[in-house]
Amino acid sequence: MTTPADPPVTITAARSRLTRPTRFLADWWHDTARAPRFAWQLFRRVLNIQFRHSSVGLLLAFAPATITALIFAYARRTHLFNDDSGGVNSAFYGGFGILISQAFVEAFNAGRRLFVAYQGILRRQVTAVEGPLLATVFEVLFHDAIRIVVMAGLFAAFRVAPSSALPLAIWGLVGVSLAGLGIGLLLAAPSALQPDLNALASGLPIVLFTVAPVFLIPPPDSLLGRIHAANPLAWLFDGIRAAAYGGPGSLAAAAVGPMVAFLLFVAGWCFCRVALPHIVERLAG
């Protein structure tokens, strides 16, 4: 009498998606090519959710940047800021710096909350990570466009003549947003798994205002001045100012900075692709 053979046993082991780089890149390209239409629908839905209860609709999106500009315009009228910074009124310098820093902070927070904001879609595996991620990119660029309009009003209010290199300043502003978004995407997975990181990340604006030239130009020989001299984000801030109105700074920083920021964004995007299966499993549990 013979005994039946034992059924075959399949042993599976965890394997990184990066162990097959060609397949990984091909899947990445395929998912990205399919994502824009769905991402646009997500983006429009997010806008509808944000502004459907507002009596002014999309005009509410202008509120944060507009309020910032109005505060500094009022500060100039009341002579709260009388000194010059970088060749312009210090109120204009501070208002312009705040608008740039808002671009970084908003993009950072949007990237950091990617898995949390779209966890319902990702858990149901309706789409790859590219759909929500590109929707986030659309949202960041939408707010950048609003910020550019408000900056134009700030130039008019302070009667600052724009530089002929102004398009380079817009390119630099996109670079600031890409840098914030890239860093946020690198922290998206830890933020989804460790809510305590959200509290820590709330202190980012304070850090940013310290290590980047937002309000003032510190003396070069001071501690803050040395920090600014070594901070690539500060170089990009100054490059944007140089391109926008001829302030002190390097046009090369405004030109090259966004390219480096794009690489940071791609690194964050890649990390989110690798982390997505683990995040979905943990969120589902």
Q: Which residue would you say has higher pLDDT here, 148 or 89?
A: 148
Of residues 72 and 44, which shows the higher confidence score? 44
Using CB atoms within 10 Å of the CB of residue 203, give its burial: 0 to 12 exposed, 13 to 18 middle, 19+ buried: exposed
Give residue 8's pLDDT. Answer: 44
Task: Convert the pLDDT of each residue in 160-216 to its tens digit.
Answer: 889 999 999 999 999 999 999 999 999 888 888 877 776 777 677 677 767 776 767
State mean pLDDT over 217-236.
Answer: 81
Residue 13 has what pLDDT?
43
List, for residues 66-96, the tens digit of each pLDDT value: 665 555 555 555 554 555 555 677 778 888 8
Considering 7-21, 72-86, 126-140, the range whose residues carry the highest mean pLDDT is 126-140
Both structure tokens of 190: 């830890």
Q: Please state, for a pLDDT cut of 90, what percent of the chain lies above it.
A: 28
Q: Which residues of 61-88 are buried (b: 16+ CB within 10 A; e: fewer)?
A: bbebbbebbeebbebbeeeebeeebbeb
Strand partners, 109: none
pTM (predicted TM-score): 0.81
> What is the average pLDDT value for the chain, to the nearest integer?
79
Residue 92's pLDDT is 82
> Quick one: pLDDT at residue 10?
38
Q: Is 14 left (phi over 0), alpha (psi -120 to 50) or beta?
A: beta
Q: What is the pLDDT of residues 97-109, one digit of tens each?
A: 888 988 998 999 8
